[in-house]
Structure 1
Amino acid sequence: MDEDLRERVEREAEKHALLNAVKYESDADVGAVMGPLMGENPDFRPHGDEIPGIIGGVVGRVNDLSTAEKRERLETLAPEELAAIEAEDDGDEHDLPDLPNVDDYDEVRMRAAPNPNGPWHIGHARMPAVIGRYKERYDGSFVVRFDDTDPETKRPDLEAYDAILEDIDYLGFEPDEVILASDRLETYYEHARDLIDAGGAYTCSCSGETFSELKNDGEACPHREKDRETTRREFAAMVDGEYDAGEMVLRVRTDIDHKNPALRDWVAFRMIDTPHPREEASEYRCWPMLDFQSGVDDHLTGVTHIIRGIDLQDSAKRQRFVYDYFDWTYPEVVHWGHVQVDAYDVQLSTSTLKEKIDAGDLDGWDDPRAPTLKSLRRRGIRGEAVVEALAALGTSTSNVDLSMSSVYAENRELVDDEAERYFLVRDGEMFPIEGGPDAGHPPIHPDHESRGERTVPAADGVVVEPEDVPAEGDRVWLKGYACVRREGDSLVATGDDIDVVRAGDVDVIHWAPATDTVAVRLRTPDGDVSGVAEPDFGATEDGDVIQFERIGFARVDDHGDEESVAYWSHP
């Protein structure tokens, strides 16, 4: 790379590092700078192997500036971008649009209706995050209803009920009411009988294939005109378990000529031979379909507003037939698109995650490689950060992408002020030190001098990461220690002061002692990483969120006899 191009890279990297630092009021991050830098400057791409090293030096210098100095420098380099950041700060109070027709109701009441087949992944969190925000805005209420009326194809996991409630608590919300649909079978049966009496349902023994052909041709099932007494009797036999799976269903009588075949005489109840895993519901064999169960529950629990996926528009249309028979008012509905999450190789699917856990590909639901709330919690990412990032997606009917960098940015604002700093060196190379002090004294936190300094021994030499090893004759600044020059196999103190860093002549690197270190296993979404940390790290408490300088934030998980384990949070 020629000198002119290198200067351009440094200049652009400085702008983007400052933008990143000022926008999120935290240290800049190499990864966050790399994306926009390469996107805006395609001619940099052939030099992709060299550029991260250049960015690292620039980021180090930017992070050594005070908040005021960063903003002042950005105003010089990119005044329009700084103005845009400041305009965002002064923007609308709410990320979410107003709910429709709120004034028509005494209280806004919303529900999250999880299928308890496993703990939640990040995508699941969008619903409680948004409902929780609306509850706060309108002083409303929030119902959690476990839709667990399919003991076969969506079989509930008995541990998932509590796990999901723990996930909601982690997000910072407390439901006003918790309901298990599998406790309410008798209520559904009662409404089914009322629907039969209203002429809105009939029992049908057609095979699924036969009914599908009739439905698609717009022809009535031969059982459609069955008298109500026969239907009541056969439904009672369904409730008593006298039919096997597939032998008999109860259908809602809709419009056999409806332009949408999916709405024609849909199934409300079916027989399932597999017992429910909950002992309280294990004797039942006649189970409601979700559209019937959910529609009845929404009315009986006073739900005023429903948020559901755009792909579930037919559910509202099916349920309206039942509401019309009962002369009920249907809740307001907000449809939204799906959310996709970057940064994970694992699919956002509870069943897929369970398969990988069972196969040993993941250690459990809180494996750092799993896109679950349990994993984020163990990594030290606060629920508030997840809620902020998800609420910012709004309720658009278009599919939306959640960038984990937005979750990380929100969490960085929450933890940065309290996270104490430590050095961690991975795959370190050892060098003796000549001419320098016996120890370095970097601050415990760069923004809080009152918290004091750490003592990092250097008398027996230091270890630095391979990518930070200077070439023969080059200088680096060992953070919190001194400027040193590579001379053969040693690092020799030069006596230069911090001005060489401010001038951009010397890169700042982290380091660790050659002896008296703490062995660390850092668990990350990309796999485990081994390294050594400065001795003071051994005094941290399990659960502490700290920052390994120039590597990222992490949550201390356990200090063992042979190694300490920490979970990487984010840059």
Structure 2
Amino acid sequence: MDDDLRERVEREAERAALFNGLKHDSDAQVGAIMGPLMGENPDFRPHGDEIPGVVAPVIERVNGLDADAKRERLAELDPGAVEELDAEDEGDDRDLPDLPNADEYDEIRMRAAPNPNGPWHIGHARMPAVIGTYADRYDGAFIVRFDDTDPETKRPDLDAYDAILSDIEYLGFEPDEVITASDRVETYYEHARDLIDEGGAYTCSCSGEAFSELKNAGEACPHRDKDAETVREEFAAMVDGEYGSGEMVLRVRTDIDHKNPALRDFVAFRMVDTPHPREEAADYRCWPMLDFQSGIDDHLTGVTHIIRGIDLQDSAKRQRFVYDYFGWEYPEVVHWGHVQVDEYDVKMSTSTLKEKIAAGEYDGWDDPRVPSIKSLRRRGIRGEALVAAMVELGTSTSDVDLPMSNVYAHNRELVDDDTDRAFAVREGVRYDIAGGPDAATPPLHPDHPDRGEREIPVGDAVLLEPEDVPEPGERVWLKGFGPFGREGDTLVYTDESIEVVREKGVPVVHWVPVEGSVSVRLRTTDGDVPCFAEPGIADYDPDDLLQFERVGFVRVDDHTERETVCYFAHP
């Protein structure tokens, strides 16, 4: 490396270290700045082996400065970077717009309202991620309400309640209040009776098809003008379970001439013959529809802002009729589009995933091929990374795409610095070894030599990945071990210096010894991949993270006599 290049590397490293240290209010690390440094300066890449040695003393010097001195120096090197930091100081949630009319409320109160009909897929994480972030921004309240008043079509899964709360905890949030709608049926009955007294509801025994014809024609249902006493009596009979499914409903009286037929006299309560799976709610047969139940709960829990899908605009309009009868003020509403997640071959739908798991196509909700939060957790991906990626999507009314690469980038930033390295070879090709040291001593982490080295006894043979095998007469550098030339099916130690890599382009590859290697089943989003890993992997505990060099980050899941199971997180 000539002097001019060294000077440039030092200058760019200083700028990156200052920015990194100020952004995270901590000491900069070589590993954290090497990626941006090499990415923004492609001409540095041929000198990749030398640059850490140039960068390390620069970082050490920067870390010795206090925050004011760092900021002053960064302003000299890159004023734009200081402006970027100032923008970030407004909060990590800067991708989220301010909530409408937030300053008009003493406390911001928001809710996530999951239907507990199964574990959460990845898309479900968007709501708690955004609501939790808003609650933190405004020092507000985060309510979780289980909307479980459909015992039949979206039948609740008894295990899902705790599983969803566990997922919210994994995402880094703790609800201020947890409500279960099926515990509150008597409250909904009470408000239905009040609505009847206000002239806002009537009982209807029309078939669904007959009412639909009337509604679409803008004609009133023949039951619309029942007297309040009859309506109260018939609703009481509904509550007592005297009607079967489809025989009677309670409708909210709206505007029969409304331009949108979907808003004309909508159903508030219906009869369901199927008992609720929760023992506490199993005796109820008269169940509120979601728009009625949700509207009542939002008011009673003081919700100030609702986030819901753009496809649910009619829900707000229906609920406003109920709010108008009671003289309530409707919460602020933010509508957003759906989120689509790439990388997976299966539809991101609870019912679809349930069917495939039940059919044995997947091992369960934590199968790495399943786009679920349980799966991400088992792969070793931190909830914080998923939240950051979801928040970056904002609240656009358009459908948005979530590239999993964004989640992986955030996770890499969180775990890279603390994760030990190891070698693992897929589809290993065996080559005998001639010469060289008895053991290799690569570092546990290339950016932290103080953590020490891992000792890998080499033995008489190694495994290489097929694409890393040198042609006969060519050379290869076994990472952490040394240079070898291929002679037939043998790799012969050449005792050359690292200059053959820097000056002659000899490739550096990972490898594992045949003797003592550990059989690994690597579980990935594309299926299981058989591997062999260096012996030291057996010393890591389940739930530990490793980076298989040149392969990616993995989470150790289990050790058995036959194999070690690891879950692939991401490259």
1:459: how far off?
3.1
Q: How does 1:281-320 map to 2 (within 5 A)?
A: 281-320=281-320
- Rounded to whole Å, the distance in 1 between the matches of 2:179 and 2:561 is 45
Q: Secondary structure at the match of 1:292?
A: helix
Change (3 A) 1:83 1:491: farther
Change (3 A) 1:561 1:496: same
1:444: how far off?
0.4
- Rounded to whole Å, the distance in 2 between the matches of 1:100 and 1:185 is 32
1:437: how far off?
1.3
Q: Which amino acid aligns with 2:549?
A: E
Q: Secondary structure at the match of 2:347?
A: coil
**Deviation string for 1:234-273 (max 9, x for gaps)?**
0000000011110110000000000100000000000000
- Rounded to whole Å, the distance in 2 between the matches of 1:321 and 1:346 is 39
Determine if contact 1:436/1:493 at 8 Å carries over to the other structure. Answer: yes
Determine if contact 2:440/2:481 at 8 Å carries over to the other structure. Answer: yes
TM-score, normalization by structure 2:
0.86
**Deviation string for 1:33-69 (max 9, x for gaps)?**
9xxxxxxxxxxxxxxxxxxxxx9xx999858853976
1:502: how far off?
2.7
Q: How does 1:503-522 map to 2 (within 5 A)?
A: 503=503, 505-522=505-522
- Rounded to whole Å, the distance in 2 between the matches of 1:518 and 1:61 is 34
Which residue does 1:558 correspond to in 2?
558
Q: Secondary structure at the match of 2:418?
A: coil
- Rounded to whole Å, the distance in 2 between the matches of 1:512 and 1:432 is 12
Q: How does 1:98-117 map to 2 (within 5 A)?
A: 98-117=98-117
Q: Secondary structure at the match of 1:416?
A: helix
Q: RMSD of aligned C-alpha atoms?
A: 2.5
Q: How does 1:74-113 map to 2 (within 5 A)?
A: 91-92=87-88, 93=91, 94-113=94-113
Change (3 A) 1:529 1:113: same
- Rounded to whole Å, the distance in 2 between the matches of 1:515 and 1:350 is 46
**Deviation string for 1:312-353 (max 9, x for gaps)?**
000000000000000000000010000000011111111111
**Deviation string for 1:340-390 (max 9, x for gaps)?**
000111111111111111111110110011111111111110100110110
Which residue does 1:66 correspond to in 2?
52
Which residue does 2:222 correspond to in 1?
222
1:496: how far off?
2.3
- Rounded to whole Å, the distance in 2 between the matches of 1:288 and 1:64 is 69
Q: Percent same amino acid at aligned positions?
A: 70
Q: Which amino acid aligns with 1:478?
A: L
- Rounded to whole Å, the distance in 1 between the matches of 2:165 and 2:34 is 34
- Rounded to whole Å, the distance in 2 between the matches of 1:491 and 1:515 is 16
1:91: how far off?
4.1
Which residue does 1:389 correspond to in 2?
389
Determine if contact 2:32/2:417 at 8 Å carries over to the other structure. Answer: no
Q: Which amino acid aligns with 2:463?
A: V
Change (3 A) 1:412 1:312: same
Question: Residue 468 in 1 paired to residue 462 in 2?
Answer: no
Q: How does 1:229-244 map to 2 (within 5 A)?
A: 229-244=229-244
Determine if contact 1:27/1:63 at 8 Å carries over to the other structure. Answer: no
Determine if contact 2:117/2:154 at 8 Å carries over to the other structure. Answer: yes
1:517: how far off?
1.0
Q: How does 1:261-410 map to 2 (within 5 A)?
A: 261-410=261-410
- Rounded to whole Å, the distance in 2 between the matches of 1:25 and 1:332 is 41
1:90: how far off?
6.0
Q: Which amino acid aligns with 2:423?
A: F
1:499: how far off?
2.4
In structure 1, stretches of 5+ residues that fail to align are: 1-17, 34-54, 73-81
Q: Which amino acid aligns with 1:535?
A: P
Change (3 A) 1:252 1:389: same
1:297: how far off?
0.2
1:105: how far off?
0.8
Q: Which amino acid aligns with 1:112?
A: A
Which residue does 2:3 correspond to in 1?
none
- Rounded to whole Å, the distance in 2 between the matches of 1:491 and 1:485 is 5
Q: Which amino acid aligns with 1:108?
A: I
Determine if contact 1:132/1:142 at 8 Å carries over to the other structure. Answer: yes
The farther-off stretch of 258-267 and 502-511 is 502-511
- Rounded to whole Å, the distance in 2 between the matches of 1:28 and 1:497 is 26
Determine if contact 2:459/2:515 at 8 Å carries over to the other structure. Answer: no
Determine if contact 1:431/1:489 at 8 Å carries over to the other structure. Answer: yes
Q: Secondary structure at the match of 1:66?
A: helix
Determine if contact 1:199/1:228 at 8 Å carries over to the other structure. Answer: yes
Which residue does 2:147 correspond to in 1?
147
Which residue does 1:523 correspond to in 2?
523
Change (3 A) 1:133 1:434: same
Which residue does 2:61 correspond to in 1?
none
Which residue does 2:187 correspond to in 1?
187
The farther-off stretch of 448-457 and 89-98 is 89-98
- Rounded to whole Å, the distance in 1 between the matches of 2:521 and 2:204 is 61
Determine if contact 1:114/1:146 at 8 Å carries over to the other structure. Answer: yes
Which residue does 1:5 correspond to in 2?
none
**Deviation string for 1:13-44 (max 9, x for gaps)?**
xxxxx9xxx9x947769xxx9xxxxxxxxxxx
- Rounded to whole Å, the distance in 1 between the matches of 2:353 and 2:83 is 41
Determine if contact 1:434/1:491 at 8 Å carries over to the other structure. Answer: yes
- Rounded to whole Å, the distance in 2 between the matches of 1:519 and 1:328 is 65
Which residue does 2:203 correspond to in 1?
203
Change (3 A) 1:328 1:392: same
Q: How does 1:469-484 map to 2 (within 5 A)?
A: 469-484=469-484
Q: Which amino acid aligns with 2:52?
A: S
